[in-house]
């Protein structure tokens, strides 16, 4: 399966669900739908390519009681189909798109996999986008991708960090699960359960790119200390926010020319450093990494 399919789904998905969290991320709820003479099940809040198969052929996306938590999970499998008159291998693809106004940090969940041929792989991807009123198209804000090329017999947790293309906060996120990230080998499958998005702090008068460029935080990644330069003169304090959106450190800023933040007591991971003026209006916000 070409990676362009993930982009296509993100921009063309007709399903847009309200809420900050992945709809039906535990895959407990399923609905029956139809496409012409073909009847099939899909997880509620999600869409699939099950309609590509014939009426009496195994569906590439199905529910399964082989789960991590709850009662059900999602199973995506590459299946051989002759649904449109030609024999072809149809990948198991499920996707959902939902609204957000928070900066995503990572996608987490549990998976199992069965890889039938060397070089094959399965994938779970999350694409954050924001509608551009000028171009009337959605801009890419960031992406998180998790790919597996080996079989995994029991459920295992995963975390995929978002790579940011810009400092903007997205207005929607599309999640795509596929049983064919590269080769379309029949029988290659992925079981997925308990998906969730971890967010940074809520967007508060999000800074423009020009405003953020005035502030320089270095080095990043860092293991001992962050240095901040270019702060506005009225900046009075800072907060260090972890990937779950929790404040883990704060302090006063007495010198806007150069400020030091000691991070020896913090675990590795992605963080945000936010600075504020005396009225507690945010003056800057940047993503940093502790190694």
Residues 261-281: tens digit of each pLDDT? 999 999 988 788 888 888 887
CA distance 74 to 26: 8
Per-residue pLDDT at 13: 52
Is the separation of the CB atoms in 98 and 126 below 8 Å? no
Question: Do 4-199 and 209-290 show the same overall fold?
Answer: no
Contact between residue 61 and residue 93 where contact means Cβ atoms under 8 Å apart: yes
pLDDT for 26 equals: 97
Give me the pLDDT at residue 166, please: 77
What is the structure's pLDDT at 247? Answer: 76
* pLDDT at site 168: 86
Q: 171: exposed, middle or buried (C-beta count within 10 Å: 0-12, 13-18, 19+)?
A: middle
Residues 6+ apart with CB under 8 A from 87: 80, 81
- CATH number at 4-199: 2.60.120.890
> pLDDT tens digits, residue range 232-254?
888 999 989 876 566 789 999 98
Instruction: Tell me which CATH code domain 209-290 carries.
Output: 2.60.40.3080
Given 3-state DSSP classes, what are the helix, strand and coil percentages for the chain, each rounded to the nearest 5? 5, 50, 45
As a whole number of Å, the CA-based R_g of the chain is 22
Alpha helices in the chain (DSSP H): 4-12, 209-213
Q: How far apart, in whole angstroms, are the C-alpha atoms of residue 271 and residue 290?
A: 8
Which ranges of the chain have pLDDT less than 50?
A: 1-5, 7-8, 10-12, 203-211
DSSP-assigned beta bridge partners for residue 40: 33
In the block, residue with structure tokens 């940093």: 288
3-state secondary structure 186-227: CCCEEEEEEEEEEECCCCCCCCCHHHHHCCEEECCCECCEEE
Cβ(176)–Cβ(93) under 8 Å? yes
What does the domain layout of the chain look like in residue ranges? 4-199, 209-290
């Amino acid at each position: 399966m070409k990676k362009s399919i993930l982009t296509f789904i993100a921009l063309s998905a007709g399903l847009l669900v309200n809420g900050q969290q992945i709809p039906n991320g535990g895959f407990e709820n399923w609905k029956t739908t139809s496409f012409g003479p073909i009847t099939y099940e899909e997880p509620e809040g999600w869409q699939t390519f099950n309609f590509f198969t014939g009426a009496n052929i195994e569906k590439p996306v199905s529910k399964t009681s082989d789960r991590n938590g709850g009662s059900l999970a999602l199973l995506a499998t590459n299946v051989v189909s002759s649904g449109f008159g030609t024999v072809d291998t149809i990948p198991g693809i499920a996707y959902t798109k939902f609204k957000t106004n928070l900066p995503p940090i990572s996608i987490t969940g549990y998976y199992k996999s069965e890889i039938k041929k060397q070089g094959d792989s399965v994938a779970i991807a999350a694409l954050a986008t924001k509608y551009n009123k000028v171009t009337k198209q959605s801009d890419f804000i960031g992406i998180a991708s998790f790919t597996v090329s080996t079989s995994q017999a029991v459920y295992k947790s995963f975390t995929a960090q978002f790579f940011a293309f810009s400092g903007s906060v997205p207005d929607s996120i599309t999640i795509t699960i596929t049983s064919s990230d590269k080769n379309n080998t029949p029988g290659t499958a992925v079981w997925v359960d308990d998906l969730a998005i971890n967010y940074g702090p809520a967007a508060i008068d999000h800074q423009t790119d020009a405003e953020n460029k005035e502030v320089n935080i270095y080095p990043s990644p860092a293991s001992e200390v962050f240095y901040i330069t270019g702060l506005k003169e009225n900046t009075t304090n800072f907060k260090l926010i972890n990937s779950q959106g929790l404040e883990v450190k704060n302090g006063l800023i007495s010198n806007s020319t150069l400020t030091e933040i000691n991070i020896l007591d913090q675990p590795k991971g992605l963080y945000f450093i936010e600075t504020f003026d005396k009225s507690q209006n945010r003056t800057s916000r940047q993503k940093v990494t502790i190694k």
